[in-house]
Amino acid sequence: MDTKKFLQKLSNAYGISGFESGLNDIVISAMKNYTDDIHVDNLGNILAVKKGTNNKENLKVMLAAHLDEIGLIVTYIEENGFIRFSNIGGIDPRTLLSQEVVVHGKEDIIGIIGARPPHFQSSDRANKTIKMEDMTIDLGLSKEEVKRVVKIGDPITIRRNFASLQGERVTGKALDDRAGVVTLLECAKELEKIVHEVDVYFVSTVQEEVGVRGAFTSTYSINPDIGIAIDVGFGATPELPKKDTLEMGKGPGITLGGNIHPGLRKHIVKLADEYNIPYQMEIAPGATGTDGYAIQITKAGIPTLCISIPLRYMHTSVEIIDMVDIRNTAKLLSLFISSITSDNLEGFLCY
């Protein structure tokens, strides 16, 4: 499947944390042609395995990118048919007001997020951020009509279509981290051209946005020799400090910090230099807040890397990425995987 079309399909589909199963067919149909086995585990993670050549030591490398997106959930239906809601995952309430949404009930229904107009607000509240609990969703239906198709607990997503911008940049919702899932596919394609000894587990994890849950369970079942989390990092914009951001189009961020195995980080940086693949350094003094945290501390501990794709406007419905960064991330990962053998792995893992 074409890379951009795959990302478009994933972005336009819905799958907030705990409700990801509607994405399974999209991911499985794309990955099955490049892997040897694919299945969905008990929690909902999609595990696609690509076998290595002459892998006598049964070496395993796990690549994880989370499939879930942030979203909303129905909490109450008012007498006038308006819907109260809460968030699933980290949502800034300032991004919600006046958004079109889709309530995923018995059928998908379009609604609008509204609140008290400024004309009816007191002067002391007019310049303050409206809280989520003061917003409602208007479906244009009576309570009786709403209750026929919507129930408490139904998921809600922002209604936003994927779009191409100038050059290689695209925008849409849930690019955090469906851009990472697309990178898994691109890496699998790259590995079709390269001999690799290790078995590769491409894992589309669930429930990352609410506690990296899918990464914990999938890592436990796989017990890989190396784990790599592919997520997004803060793309540079004028108002953000340069030290905390990644430049768009200039390659993935390779994370440096306590969550990261130093020997593996040095090795992947060396490969990037050797093959002229652009990259940037990303500093994470503590836990990375990604699947990498779960991978690292599972079982007896897994040597872990985190790779970040630059992304602007994180946790909004207008996230932006550069497709060039996806391709470069996939190339670097494929070279790293092909470089790992039973003869050299112990050396890379030594502190």
Residue 218 covered by a domain: yes
Task: Based on the fold, state whether residues 58 and 75 are members of the same structural domain.
Answer: no
Is residue 165, in this structure, part of any structural domain at all? no
Write down the pLDDT at residue 287. Answer: 84
Residue 167 in domain: no
pLDDT score for 230: 98
pTM here is 0.95
For residues 65 and 84, membership in a common domain is answered with: no
Closest residue by Cα to residue 299 from 227, 218, 215, 220: 220
**C-alpha span between 183 and 327 (Å, rounded):** 7
Q: Let me know whether 204 and 316 are in one domain.
A: yes
What is the pLDDT, as a whole number, of residue 213?
97
The answer as to whether 272 is a domain residue is yes
Last residue of a domain, one of 124, 158, 192: 158
Question: C-alpha dihedral over 144, 148, 153, 155, to 10 degrees?
Answer: -110
CB 173 within 8 A of CB 69: yes
Identify whether 208 is a catalytic site residue.
yes
Residue 313 in any domain: the answer is: yes
Using the CB atoms, write b or e for 217-226: b if 16+ within 10 Å.
bbbeebebbb
6-20, 104-118, 309-323: the lowest-pLDDT one: 104-118
Residue range 146-199, pLDDT digits in tens: 999 999 999 999 999 999 999 999 999 999 999 999 999 999 999 999 999 999
Assess whether pLDDT exceeds 60 at residue 2. Answer: yes
pLDDT of residue 74: 98
60: its two tokens: 């395993």
Enclosing domain of residue 24? 3-69+173-349
Whole-number pLDDT of residue 117: 66
14 and 62 co-located in one domain? yes
pLDDT for res 127: 67
The percentage of residues in the chain with a pLDDT greater than 70, rounded to a whole number, is 97
Q: Assess whether 212 and 255 both reside in one domain.
A: yes
Q: 265 in helix, strand or coil?
A: helix
CA–CA dist 47, 179 (Å, integer): 17
164: in domain: no
Does 123 reside within a domain?
A: yes
Based on the domain organization, do 114 and 252 belong to the same domain?
Answer: no
Phi, psi of 103 (to 5 degrees): -90, 120
The CATH number of the domain where 64 resides is what?
3.40.630.10
Is the pLDDT score of 63 beyond 90? yes
Residue 339's nearest CA partner among 244, 266, 246 is: 266
The total of structural domains in the chain comes to 2
The whole-chain average pLDDT of the chain stands at: 95
Whole-number pLDDT of residue 129: 79
User: What average pLDDT score do residues 248-271 get?
Assistant: 96
Residue 73 has pLDDT above 90, yes or no: yes
Contacts of 148 (CB under 8 A, 6+ apart): 106
| 75 and 40 together in one domain | no
Q: Which residue has the higher pLDDT, 235 or 287?
A: 235
Q: Tell me how far CA of residue 253 lies from CA of 53, 145, 196, 266, in angstroms.
A: 29, 49, 24, 13
User: Mean pLDDT, to the nearest integer, of 332-348?
Assistant: 95
How many Å from the N-terminal Cα to the C-terminal Cα in the chain?
41
| CA dist., res. 330 & res. 260, Å (int) | 19
Catalytic residue among 20, 69, 190, 208: 208
Q: pLDDT tens digits, residue range 84-140?
A: 999 999 999 999 999 999 999 999 999 999 986 665 565 566 567 789 999 999 999
Q: Quick one: 123 and 238 in the same domain?
A: no
Q: Which residues fall within 8 angstroms of residue 225, CB to CB, at 6 or more apart?
A: 59, 60, 61, 198, 302, 303, 340, 345
Q: Mean pLDDT over residues 319-343, rounded?
A: 98
CATH number at residue 109: 2.40.30.40
Residues 186 and 307 in one domain: yes
- Do 116 and 7 belong to one domain? no
Looking at the structure, tell me whether residues 274 and 328 fall in a common domain: yes
Please identify, among 128, 158, 188, the residue that sits at the C-terminal boundary of a domain: 158
Residues 6+ apart with CB under 8 A from 131: 93
Asked if residue 150 is part of any domain, the answer here is: yes
The pLDDT value recorded for residue 329 is 98
Which one of 158, 192, 217 terminates a domain? 158
**Shared-domain flag, residues 113 and 207:** no
pLDDT of 128 reads 73
